[in-house]
Amino acid sequence: LINSIMRKKISHFLHGPYPATHFGPKACILPNPTSVMHIQDPASQRLTWTNPPSNVLVIRKIHDESLVEPFKELCRYLVEEKQLMVYVERRVVEDGTLKDDELFGSICNQLCTFREGFDDISDCIDLIICLGGDGTLLYASSLFQGSVPPVMAFHLGSLGFLTPFKFESYKTEVAKVLEGNAAITLRSRLKVKVVKAAVQQPHEEEEEGEEEGGQQQVLNEVVVDRGPSSYLSNVDLYLNGRLITSVQGDGVIVSTPTGSTAYAAAAGASMIHPNVPAIMVTPICPHSLSFRPIVVPAGVELMITLSPDARNTAWVSFDGRKRQEIQHGDCIKITASCYPVPSICCHDLVYDWFESLAQCLHWNVRKRQAGLAQPSDSSDTEN
């Protein structure tokens, strides 16, 4: 009966019902066909292949000897049994443990290698398989600044909030994914551009040209902090070009729903399911008793600049990488990206998320309250 009820509930549109546009007998929303969006129900999002996948990128956590054997097992399975072309980062195969393994040598010679920042593999990868912790998924996201192939993540790291698969059954799970029809979660990313004061263009066309050049795709969060300075950071936050507040404290976090369970959660933000279209703004140790984290619609543009009277510069990082200094006159532009990370689910997008909350973050774990004792006699009940 419970399973039947759950199936009925899941069949509902996960984003909720389409809102009514007529209010009372005479009021309605002005129709605007250009602004109508058709969004697929997240619960019905399933992976399918237009052509059988042939190229697989395997990402392994570096400097972790416990992952050497799982890595070799997976590569051998993909190359020998599935006849797939496997791509790995060059520094992975240069590991001394792999070089000394003569039995794995024949497989190692068939692997395609690349170097981050030198070789572009974005157009030749059909599937990504991650072995490690959440950092492997963030690294996979950083390699693809445009469209991202489906990502299958195995939990072989410390936390594993974003890695739902167990490696013990990797052959069965990988075979299912290669056949298609797997549930996926589209994890939204942020498109971030740092515009330096010296290169800001006066003409809009030139500025748009600049913006396409050095933007970052961020899966978890953009963090603006005070860096090594002992002064409070003092930055202004704009929403769609309008100043909404100044942040005085250790900094501010702008995160996706996926990033809401990372640094933002440690800073006191709420945790948001990855299918909720939103951007979170969370202050870091604000020097104010009333500055609470906020959630804004995914369609807005956020901009962060140093306040004119800021005593020091600020620093920005993107998913913990590519940290750089922000000077007076620089600005950070943040919008939702149109290139999400399609993360393959182990069960489904609702169950996997709550399972991660319970297993990784011990969400709402406490000792159960004991029930009331039964009354021993009628006199106790009356008293």
Structure token pair of residue 121: 């593999």
Name the CA radius of gyration of the chain, rounded. 25
Question: Hey, CA dihedral for 226, 232, 237, 242, is it positive or negative?
Answer: negative
d(CA 99, CA 107): 11
Q: How far is CA 122 from CA 78, 84, 146, 147, 342, in A?
A: 20, 17, 8, 8, 15
Residues 34, 106 contacting (CB under 8 angstroms): no
d(CA 318, CA 172): 35
Structure token pair of residue 125: 């990868």
Pairing of strands 294-297, 22-23: unpaired
Residues 238, 303 contacting (CB under 8 angstroms): yes
Phi and psi, residue 258, nearest 5°: -60, -40
Residue for token pair 């007529």: 22
CB neighbour list of residue 39: distance below 8 Å, 6 or more residues apart: 15
Catalytic residue, from 64, 134, 250, 309: name it: 134
Structure token pair of residue 101: 């393994």
d(CA 202, CA 207): 7
d(CA 212, CA 207): 9
d(CA 50, CA 277): 27
120 is catalytic: no
- SS3 of residue 108 by DSSP: helix
| Catalytically annotated residues | 134
